[in-house]
Amino acid sequence: MKLRKPRTYRKGRIEIIPMIDVMFFLLATFMLSSLAMQNLDSLQVNLPQGKAEKLKADMPLTLTLTGDGKIFVNRTPVTLQTLAATLGPLLSNPQQSVIVSADHIAPQGLVVQAMLQARAAGAQKFLIAVKHE
């Protein structure tokens, strides 16, 4: 007569397929959340249309001019007279680009004067923001 063990023990296994699914889910979640955290620090203005490459800057410095003549540096309201004093400490190096985001109905003279004040503060490179066609 052959006696069986009252309970059979099986060796445990680690299932890899569910672990891969969880890892891909976490990867997609972190990628989407990091894209949502990207901030340009500019106000919403109606940009002129044009063809340009996407910006690849880590810490953009934006100079925003609205249609009614208001000026902002990284969402901070400034006047034309205080623009150079506000922008100067924000420029970490002379090669840092300043993104000029001007409304399409903003007065051209004001845009030029703001860029001249930014140049007086030490900015040497300017990027003009446009809306893709």
CA–CA separation, 72 and 44 (whole Å): 11
Q: For residue 110, tell me if it sits in a domain.
A: yes
pLDDT one-digit tens code per residue, 76-112: 889 888 888 888 888 877 678 888 888 888 888 888 9
Banded model confidence at residue 38, pLDDT cuts 50, 70, 90: low
CA–CA separation, 90 and 72 (whole Å): 13
pLDDT one-digit tens code per residue, 7-19: 777 777 888 898 9
pLDDT at 131: 74
Q: For residue 30, tell me if it sits in a domain.
A: no
CA–CA separation, 60 and 116 (whole Å): 19
DSSP strands (E only) in 1-133: 49-50, 61-65, 71-73, 76-78, 97-102, 125-128, 131-132
More confident residue, 71 or 44: 71
Q: For residue 18, tell me if it sits in a domain.
A: no
Q: For residue 33, tell me if it sits in a domain.
A: no
Q: By C-alpha distance, which of 76, 103, 73 is closest to 91?
A: 73
Q: Is pLDDT of 55 > 80?
A: no
pLDDT at 15: 85
Q: Residue 118 sits in a domain of what CATH number?
A: 3.30.420.270
pLDDT at 26: 95
Q: What total number of domains does the chain contain? A: 1
Q: For residue 114, tell me if it sits in a domain.
A: yes
